[in-house]
Amino acid sequence: MNHNKIRDHYLLALIDIANGKNIMELEEAIDDYEELEEYEACAGILKAIHESGYLTIKDLIKIIDKNE
């Protein structure tokens, strides 16, 4: 399992969410990555979606800034 790939997609998804991207669009991206068997990308995006359910935008930005 490529943990860097998971982290990269997690951070990219957090950035999308912080910028107002619709969660349904991210779920569609997960479907696309599943078809390509890119399960690390799916894991990263799914983690970001789950965390966005209980974190504020301010908290998301802190995570993004901490990991860049």
pLDDT tens, the chain, 68 aa long: 789 999 999 999 999 999 999 999 999 999 999 999 999 999 999 999 999 989 888 888 898 888 87
Judge if pTM exceeds 0.85.
yes
Kindly report the backbone phi and psi dihedral angles of residue 50, in degrees, each rounded to the nearest multiple of 5, phi listed first.
-60, -45
Q: If residue 30 lies in a helix (H) or strand (E), which one and from where to where?
A: helix 23-35
- The label of the residue with tokens 């950035």 reads 15
pLDDT of residue 61: 87
